[in-house]
Amino acid sequence: MKMKNKKKKGVRTMDVILVIVGVLLISFTITMIVMFVKYGAIPDTLCTCVFAALGGECGVMGWIRTSKERNRDRSYEIEDREYLERKEKNERNTP
């Protein structure tokens, strides 16, 4: 039985940021509900800014992830193409 050596992935930065964003959104929402119950209104500008900032952060992280995946896929494509070219060259040279 052959066991694969897998690197154990630790806590990644984006995962930590997503947890922080989630906790902030939940606590902010609960705080705004409490404010609304107590005072009958909430600061609309603050709500807009908080959701815009956290949504923007998530959008930037998504863009970073997409860029990394695209670059990785591109490098795999180049490796595959080079492998196939070498293989075809060897097949042509073999009698």
Q: Domain of residue 80: give its range.
A: 15-90
pLDDT in tens, 14-31: 889 999 999 999 999 999
Q: Which residues are within 8 A (CB) of 79 and not within 5 positions of it... i.e. 6 or more apart? A: none
Is the pTM of the predicted complex or chain greater than 0.85?
A: no
In a domain, 74, yes or no: yes
- What string of H, E and C letters represents the secondary structure of the chain? CCCCCCCCCCCCHHHHHHHHHHHHHHHHHHHHHHHHHHHCCCCHHHHHHHHHHHHHHHHHHHHHHHHHHHHHHHHHHHHHHHHHHHHHHHHHHCC
In a domain, 37, yes or no: yes
In a domain, 9, yes or no: no
In a domain, 62, yes or no: yes
C-alpha span between 47 and 24 (Å, rounded)? 12
In a domain, 7, yes or no: no
pLDDT in tens, 27-70: 999 999 999 999 999 999 999 999 999 999 999 999 988 888 88
Q: How many domains does the chain have?
A: 1
In a domain, 66, yes or no: yes
